[in-house]
Structure 1
């Protein structure tokens, strides 16, 4: 019901359409538009799927940022509360190789604070690895919680690493905790970039994405940008596409 009440009132090209709902026996069913390329996390972490090129990754991030900017606007004032690569669906644009981003799963979303409030107090929900640490400690939620989760998604897109992975070496299970220092310096960034890109990306633009992610991951929520500011930055980054002037050669 929460998803119907919120998503049923929204219309945006980067938010998956809720077509209807019905019940079968005791099961309540939600019906969404079909997205042919399915979940983003499958494309990042499934070895059987062809890796996403760098330029497509930036376009996907830009589409997700547009959706979150729309949700955070004064007209809608919605906090998504579960930004992750599992909440981003991909649809293929007809007669092209371009993917269209579709944010999905607004069941945990809720209205943001009123004009005279800085946050709303809620039970902590979301996907571990993407939850804003301050929100986790206090239960105080505002749009900057979504910004933090989006920062984690940006780092996953750069590195090809899951936010949480118990199979990694001790101390590296939580990606953000150990990888943040590598994002500050271009030379270190090269070491942690997704190996599936085979070095085929403009280093300067990859660094710009990394720097934007770092601002989203600031410990103090007030220091983070708004999603509108993040969107403007991503739109200013042309792409991580192959460039003859700044591509790292595959090793």
Structure 2
């Protein structure tokens, strides 16, 4: 039996993943962004799941989530499932622009740095990561004209790069990224063409399997098969530049954040 944290568990892929892992006898820690949303986890808490609460759009609340998780004990695996999609039809204020970056990239980075180091880390990405901007100019969209779709692509390039950088820097951890496909969740929409059931199975498998191929850290997976990875995400120089910027934004450096 493994102890596994899943962020963004109140609905969609995170909820499906939590259900599947509980069905298989694992101890699951689920996450909701608010106490109101935590009510949607009652079916899982009734089966023994523990709950942590905090809005991953806030770095302060993300730090609180890390503290709550550590009070529960060391996780065997963490599935960084929570994510938001950029909204090109909405015209948010400048303060809203960092939300996509914060939830999709900064929160998993900060949780990676602050939570007691697990044996396995799984980060959710998208095939759209291949369209991410690898210039690393203006990550927080403070000067660029807002483009929600591009912000999403960027954030997924960054979190994919994070997964591969962690695999390189932390050889004692198995770190992967997973593209669940375009699935009909609330974020994906009803017109999504991929299989919702298949969408969560790869991350639950990676969190628990002893398959030798899955033990080879630093891959990107889709439907339990390795898939294509943007060249930038594999570039060591780009990885280090990105981690330096994320450290500056969050005031947390992975090499300094390990807890034993």
TM-score, normalization by structure 1: 0.30
Whose helix proportion is higher, 1 or 2? 2
